[in-house]
Structure 1
Amino acid sequence: MMNSFSRNRSISVGINRLCSVKNELLNGYVEGDTCVVESHLPVSCGRPHFKRFYHKNNAFPRFSIAKCGFSSQAGAKSSGEEDDLEDGFSELETPLGSDAITDSNLDDEKANESASDADVSDVDGEEESPEDELEILTDKGKVRSSRTQSQLFQAITAARSVENALDKWVEDGKNLNKDEIWLATYNLRKRRLFGRALQLSEWLETRGKIDFVEKDYASRVDLIAKVRGLHKAESYIEKIPESLRGEIVYRTFLANCVSAGNVKKAEEIFNKMKDLEFPSTAFTCNQLLLLYKRLDKKKIADVLLLMEKENVKPTGFTYRLLIDSKGQSNDLDGMDQIVQAMKAEGVELDISTQAVLAKHYATGGQKKKAESILRDMEGGDLKEHRSACPLLLPVYAELGKVDEVRRVWEVCEHSPRAYECIAAIEAWGKLKRIEEAEAVFNSMVKRWKKLSATQFSALLRVYANNKMLTKGKDLVKQMADSGCKIGPLTWDIIVKLYVESGEVEKADSILHKATQQNLMRPMYSTFMAIMGQYSKRGDVHNAEKLFHRMKLSGYTARITQFQSLLQAYINARTSAYGMRDRMKADNLFPNKAVASLLAQVDPFKKTAVSELLD
C-alpha cells in the first residue's frame, strides 16, 4: 500500500523562502482524514499563501505551535511498505559511501553492521567521520587527517587487554595528552572498534587522566549505545554532572536512537530536549526525517512544519533525505521540485545528492537524466574526480552499462581502496558478471593480508542474489578459515542465500544458532526473510515462532510483522483469534492493507449463510 508521502505529487517543504520556487512544492496530500493549515509566513513572490495537508490522526499530543514535540503514541498507523525496513540506519549527515546509492533497504542493513563485521583493512580514511558531525570528536574546529599515525592506537590494537596496554603506556613514561588520546579514539572509531574505544574512555575516567568536558561525555554515551545498547547509554546520561549534560550529549543519544530504529525512544528524547529548552537545530530535525523516511513517511510533513515554525533552515542533508524519499516512491516529478527548491535556496547539489538523483532516475526509467548527472559527477576527467567512482559504479550497473562500469573500475583497479572494490563487486554482481566480481574479490585477497566481513559479504551478496548456494557455502567456509568475525550483516546475507535457494528450514536453523551463540541480535530483515517464506507456505506454527523470537530479540512489533503473520493464516485457510487485541497491545493500528487481511481471518465474520441463520 502506497503511503501518504509517496502518494502526493509534491512535498511540504515550505521552509523559509521555498515558496518562491513553486507553490505546488509546498502542498501535501493525505488520503482520508486531512486538514489544511495555511502558512502565514510572508510570501516573497507575492503569490497566495500556500497550503499544507497532514493527518488529523497523526497530530501528536505534544505537537503544538508552542512545543512542537513528538509522541509515539499517536500516528502509530503506517503502511506495510513503510515498516518493512531494518533497524540500524546511521548516516548522521555524512557523505554517502560506495554503497550509499544502492537499494535503500540495503543501506539500512549495512549501517547496522557491528564492530565485529569490520576490520582495520576496511578503512582507507577517505570518508568523513560521523562523530565529527555529532561534535564529539572535533577539537577547536581543527581538521585532522585519519591517515595520521597514532602510537597509542597501535599499542591498543596490538594488546589483548586495553587496560594492560594503557597501564604499560603510562609505566613507560609515554605521552598521554589530549591530542594523542583524540587521535587514538578517532582511529578506533574509524575502524569501528567501538568496544576498545569505550574501554579507553572508561580507563581515562577511572584513572582521572583527563578532565572530562561535555564532548567527552557525549562520546562515551555514543560508544555505550553502540556497544551495550540504548538502555545502558540512557542510564549513563543520568550519571553525567548536570552542568555537563547539555545539548551535545542528548543529540548524540538521539542519533543513536534513530540508528537503532527506536521511534518511541527517539521521540521521547526529542521531547525531552524541548523540555530542557535546547534550540531546535537542523541536525535534530534531520535525525527525525531520517527516522521517518525509513519507518513512517507520513510524519515527514510534521517535521517540516516544525522546522518552519522554529525557523530551522534545511541543510543539504535535509534535501537529500527528501529527494531520496520521493525517489523511493518513484515520484520523480516531486523529486525534481525539491531539487528546484534546493537550488533556489542556494544549497549545493553535492556529489552524494547527485548520486541519489541518478540512482532514482535510473530505476525510474529516465535513463537520459541519469546519464547526464553521471557525466556531471565525472567532471570531464574521472582521474581527477576519483572520489566519484564508487558512486558511479552502481548507477552504471543499474543502467546496464557494462562498458561504463569497466571504464570506471579501470581508474581504480591499479591502486584500489576497499570501498571502491566493494562498489565494483556489487556493480558486477548487478550485471550478473560473476567472474568479474570474483576477480575484484581475488585482487583484494592478494592486496590485503586479512579481509573483513564487509569485504567477504560483498561477494557473498552477489552469490545470494544469483542463487549460487554452493559458491556461497564455499565463501562462508573461507571466511571462517580466515578467522573473520561474523556479525549480523553477514548472518543476514547467509540466511537470504539459503532462503533464495529454497532451503528455508536451513536458514531458520542458522539464524537460531547465530542468535544463541552471539550476544548481537540479528537484523530485522533477517527474521522477516524467513517469516515471509513461512507465510507463503501457510505455516502458521513457524510464523508465530518467528514472531515471538523477534520480540525476544528486542524488536518492537511493527505492522509488517502482523501483515506477514496474517498472510500465513490466510494461506493456511484458518481463522486468527484475538489478532486485533494483539495489535492494540503493541500500540499498533491496522492500515487499509492490514484491515483487509484481518477481515479475511476474522473467525466471527458475517457471511451470506450466517446472516440467514441469524
Structure 2
Amino acid sequence: MWALRRTSIHLKNRGLSSGTIGISCMKSEIARSCLENHNAGVVEPQGKLLDESLYLTRFYNTSSSYSKSYAGARTFSSQADAKSSREGDDDLEDAFSELETPLDAVQGAASGDEIDDESDLSEGEGVADDMQNELGKVGTDTDVGEKRSPKGKAISALTKAILAAPLSSVSKALDKWVEEGNEVTQTEVSLTMLHLRKRRMFVKALQLSEWLESTKHIEFHETYYASRVDLISKVRGIFKAEEYIQKIPESCRGEIVYRTLLANCVSATNVRKSEEVFNKMKSLFPVTCFSCNQLLLLYKRTDKKKIADVLLLMEKENIKPSIFTYQILIDVKGQSNDIGGMEQIVETMKSEGVEPNIQIQASLARHYTAAGLKDKAEAILKEMEGDDITKNRWVCRVLLPIYASLGRDDEVERIWKVCESNPFMEECMAAIGAWGKLKRIEEAEAAFDKMVKKVKRPSSKHFALLLNVYANHKMLAKGKDLVKRLAESSSTVGPLTWDALVKLYVGAGEVEKADSILDKALKQKRGKPLFNSYFVILDQYAKRGDIHNAEKIFLRMRDAGYVSRVRPYQALLAAYINAKAPAYGFRERMKADSVIPNKAMNDLLDRADAFRKSAVAELLE
C-alpha cells in the first residue's frame, strides 16, 4: 500500500478525465515529494492535464535515446519486474520491443525488412533505461500456452520459409509451404513470430500475421490481435493501428489491445494521441498501473509537471505502484539532480516492502555518479557485484560502463578480466563503450575484435559501438576505415550507425557531410533516425547563425515527430540570435506545437525580440 499522509487537496478543475471533475484525496509520500520541490523537475499539477477538451491541440519521445529511440527501439505490455538475473534480461529481450521502435504515420514503413538489427531507438536521454519497461510478453504471440524454443535450437521450417522469401512474396511462400503438406500450428506460428521479432523483422512478421488472419489457419484471439496492432504500429504507424482496432471483433477488443496501442503511442512520444487513448481506456476499463506507468514514462520525457497528476490519480483509484513506477520516479529525480528526493522515493519503496532490483540499483549508481557522489555510487556497485563476481557474472555488463563513468580504470580492468577469456557478446559491447569512455582506444578495439570473432555475421549495430568511440574522440581517419570495413561486411545500416556517422563528421567540423549522411538515411527509409542525429546538426547550424539550414533540419525533425519539447526550439532560436535576425511568430509556433517555454527559452525569446524592427523601419526598407 502507499505510505499515505492525510492531507486534503482540492483539485478543482484538475481531473484526469475528459470531464470537469474535482478530486479531494489524500496525498501519498511519493506524490508529496514530487509536489514539494519545484526545482526538482516535478511541480504542482497544472490542471486538467488529460482533459481531451483542452489537450486535443497538443500533438506530439524522449530523453537519452531510442531511443532508444527507439526508435528504441525503439521501443512498452505486461508488468515486467526486471528480474535480477540473466534469464530476466532475456525475458526483456523477448518483449515486443521498447516502443522506441514504432514509426509515426508520417514515417511510413521501412521499405526493406528488419529496420536493420540495430535497436531502433528514438529521441532522448535515457532510452536504454526505458527499455527496461513493462511490455513483457504482450504482443509477442507467445501467450498461447506453448513453450518457447530453447536457445540454440534450430529454427523452425516455417521460419526458414519466411526468411528465404523475398519481402514482396511472403504470402506466396507461405501458400507454397502449406501446399507442400506442412501444417500450420500455434506452436510453429508462436516460435516463428518470436524469432522474427527478436531479429526485428517487423515487416515480415506483419505479413505473416496478415496471412494467418486471411487464411484462418489458426484461431485468432485477443493476444494475436494485440500482436497485430503492435506490428502495424511499428510498420505503418499508430494511426493505421488505431484504424485496425475498429475492425477487430468486439469480443476480442479488450484491454490488452488498447494497452498495446497506448504503449506504441508513448513510444512515438505522441502526447495528444497517448492522452486520447488513455482516456478511452479509462472509459472502457478500470485504470491500471500499466496505463499510469505509460503516462509517467511519457511525461518523464515531455512534461514533468504532469507527473504529479498521474500519481494523484493512482492514489484516487487505489492503484498500488509497481517497481517500474518507482524506477521512473527515481530517474525523474536523478535526472533533475534532486538526490535527496531520489533517496526519499527509495525509502518509500522499501517501506512498502519493495526492494530495488538491478535496474534500479544501476540507475541509482548512474545518478550518484552524475552528481559527483562517487562513494555512494561505488557502494551500490559493490552491492550489485555481490561476494563473488564469477558467480554473479551476468552483472559485469552493467558494472563496466558505470565504473568507466566514475573514471575507475582499475575496476574496469578487474571486471573485464573476469570476462575477457570467454566473454559474452553483451560484455564485449559494454567493454567497448567503457574503454572508449576512458579514452583507452586500443582496449576498446581489442574488445571489438573479440566480439566480431564471437558473432558469425556482425551487424552494423556492432560496428556502431566502436564507431561511436571514434566519433566521441574525433578520430575521423579511424572512423572512415571502420566504415569501409562495415561496407565490406554487407551489413544493413540503421539508426545507430547513422547517428555515429553524423557525430563523427560533426566532430571533425564537416557539418555538411553529416547533413548529407542524414539526408541519405532518410531516403533509405530503413527506420527513423535518432533525435540526437538531427539535433547535433541543428546545433551546429545554430552556432553558425545559419538560419536556412537550421530551419531545414528543424522541419525534418518535425516530420519525424521530434519537436514536442523545448530543446529543438532553443537551438533554432539560437540560429536567429546568432544571425542577429528577428524571429517573428516564434512564440506562436511553439504554442501551435503545445510546447511551453521554460525560463531559459523565455530568456532567449527576450533576446530575439531585440532584433525586431519597428513597423516604420520595415516600411522604410
TM-score, scaled relative to structure 2? 0.81
Tell me which of 479, 489, 506 is aligned to 1:472: 479
Q: Is residue 4–residue 27 contact of structure 2 (8 Å, CA) maintained in 1?
A: no
Superposed CA deviations along residues 68-103 of structure 1, whole A, max 9, x for unmatched, are x79645899999999x996645563654999x9xxx
Task: Tell me, in whole angstroms, the C-alpha distance in 1 between the residues paired with 2:83 and 2:489.
Answer: 29
Q: Is residue 421–residue 444 contact of structure 1 (8 Å, CA) maintained in 2?
A: yes
What residue in structure 1 maps to residue 94 of structure 2? Answer: none
Counterparts in 2 of 1:52 and 1:295: CA distance versus 1, 3 Å: closer
Partner-residue secondary structure (3-state), 1:211: coil
What residue in structure 2 maps to residue 343 of structure 1? Answer: 350
What residue in structure 2 maps to residue 158 of structure 1? Answer: 164
Task: Tell me, in whole angstroms, the C-alpha distance in 2 between the residues paired with 1:202 and 1:132.
Answer: 23
Amino acid at match of 1:441: F
Give how far 1:582 is off: 2.4
Counterparts in 2 of 1:130 and 1:136: CA distance versus 1, 3 Å: farther
Q: Is residue 300–residue 328 contact of structure 2 (8 Å, CA) maintained in 1?
A: yes
Superposed CA deviations along residues 425-458 of structure 1, whole A, max 9, x for unmatched, are 1111111111111111111222222111211111
Tell me which of 276, 283, 293 is aligned to 1:275: 283
Superposed CA deviations along residues 386-415 of structure 1, whole A, max 9, x for unmatched, are 221111111111111222212222332333
Tell me which moved more, 445-454 or 283-292.
445-454
Task: Tell me, in whole angstroms, the C-alpha distance in 1 between the residues paired with 2:460 and 2:239.
Answer: 28
Tell me which of 186, 190, 197 is aligned to 1:182: 190
Task: Tell me, in whole angstroms, the C-alpha distance in 1 between the residues paired with 2:233 and 2:146.
Answer: 26
Give how far 1:478 is off: 1.5
Amino acid at match of 1:528: F
Matched, 1:134 2:133: no
Q: Is residue 178–residue 184 contact of structure 2 (8 Å, CA) maintained in 1?
A: yes
Amino acid at match of 2:185: N
Tell me which moved more, 558-567 or 73-82.
73-82
Matched, 1:406 2:405: no
Counterparts in 2 of 1:330 and 1:324: CA distance versus 1, 3 Å: same
Task: Tell me, in whole angstroms, the C-alpha distance in 2 between the residues paired with 1:538 and 1:88.
Answer: 30
What residue in structure 2 maps to residue 332 of structure 1? Answer: 339
Give how far 1:526 is off: 1.4
Counterparts in 2 of 1:192 and 1:135: CA distance versus 1, 3 Å: closer
Counterparts in 2 of 1:182 and 1:131: CA distance versus 1, 3 Å: farther
Task: Tell me, in whole angstroms, the C-alpha distance in 2 between the residues paired with 1:80 and 1:555.
Answer: 11
Query: Within 5 Å, which residues of 2 pair with 1:3-22?
Result: 16-19=1-4
Tell me which of 393, 401, 404 is aligned to 1:397: 404
Matched, 1:431 2:438: yes
Task: Tell me, in whole angstroms, the C-alpha distance in 2 between the residues paired with 1:447 and 1:604.
Answer: 59
Task: Tell me, in whole angstroms, the C-alpha distance in 2 between the residues paired with 1:573 and 1:377.
Answer: 53
Matched, 1:364 2:371: yes
Query: Within 5 Å, which residues of 2 pair with 1:218-237?
Result: 218-237=226-245
Superposed CA deviations along residues 197-247 of structure 1, whole A, max 9, x for unmatched, are 111111111111011101101000101111222122112112111221111
Query: Within 5 Å, which residues of 2 pair with 1:73-112?
Result: 88-89=71-72, 92=76, 95=82
Amino acid at match of 2:480: K
Amino acid at match of 2:434: A
Counterparts in 2 of 1:456 and 1:510: CA distance versus 1, 3 Å: same
Superposed CA deviations along residues 155-208 of structure 1, whole A, max 9, x for unmatched, are 322343533442333223233211111111112212212122111111111111
What residue in structure 2 maps to residue 314 of structure 1? Answer: 321
What residue in structure 1 maps to residue 273 of structure 2? Answer: 265
Tell me which moved more, 513-522 or 540-549.
513-522
Matched, 1:117 2:116: yes
What residue in structure 2 maps to residue 30 of structure 1? Answer: none
What residue in structure 2 maps to residue 8 of structure 1? Answer: none
Amino acid at match of 1:223: L
Partner-residue secondary structure (3-state), 1:359: helix
Q: Is residue 143–residue 223 contact of structure 2 (8 Å, CA) maintained in 1?
A: no
Amino acid at match of 2:403: Y
Counterparts in 2 of 1:589 and 1:185: CA distance versus 1, 3 Å: same
Amino acid at match of 2:420: E
Counterparts in 2 of 1:510 and 1:581: CA distance versus 1, 3 Å: same
What is the RMSD computed on CA atoms of the aligned residues? 3.7
What residue in structure 1 maps to residue 558 of structure 2? Answer: 551
What residue in structure 2 maps to residue 596 of structure 1? Answer: 603
For this pair of structures, how many residues does the alignment match?
Answer: 557
Counterparts in 2 of 1:306 and 1:257: CA distance versus 1, 3 Å: same
Counterparts in 2 of 1:78 and 1:425: CA distance versus 1, 3 Å: closer
Partner-residue secondary structure (3-state), 2:115: helix
Tell me which of 285, 288, 300 is aligned to 2:295: 288
Counterparts in 2 of 1:573 and 1:259: CA distance versus 1, 3 Å: same
Counterparts in 2 of 1:87 and 1:509: CA distance versus 1, 3 Å: same
What residue in structure 2 maps to residue 576 of structure 1? Answer: 583
Amino acid at match of 2:503: K
Counterparts in 2 of 1:112 and 1:274: CA distance versus 1, 3 Å: closer
Matched, 1:380 2:387: yes
Q: Is residue 77–residue 590 contact of structure 1 (8 Å, CA) maintained in 2?
A: no
Amino acid at match of 1:134: V
Show structure 2 runs of 5+ residues with no match: 10-21, 37-41, 90-96, 104-109, 120-130
Give how far 1:598 is off: 1.7
What residue in structure 2 maps to residue 198 of structure 1? Answer: 206
Show structure 1 runs of 5+ residues with no match: 1-15, 28-36, 64-68, 101-106, 121-126
TM-score, scaled relative to structure 1? 0.82
What residue in structure 2 maps to residue 60 of structure 1? Answer: 48
Query: Within 5 Å, which residues of 2 pair with 1:419-498?
Result: 419-498=426-505
Matched, 1:352 2:359: yes
Tell me which moved more, 107-116 or 193-202.
107-116
Superposed CA deviations along residues 442-499 of structure 1, whole A, max 9, x for unmatched, are 1122222211121111111111111111111111222122111111222112111111
Task: Tell me, in whole angstroms, the C-alpha distance in 1 between the residues paired with 2:99 and 2:467.
Answer: 15
Counterparts in 2 of 1:91 and 1:350: CA distance versus 1, 3 Å: farther
Superposed CA deviations along residues 555-575 of structure 1, whole A, max 9, x for unmatched, are 455422221111111111121
What residue in structure 2 maps to residue 243 of structure 1? Answer: 251
Q: Is residue 487–residue 520 contact of structure 1 (8 Å, CA) maintained in 2?
A: yes
What residue in structure 2 maps to residue 323 of structure 1? Answer: 330
Tell me which moved more, 532-541 or 135-144.
135-144
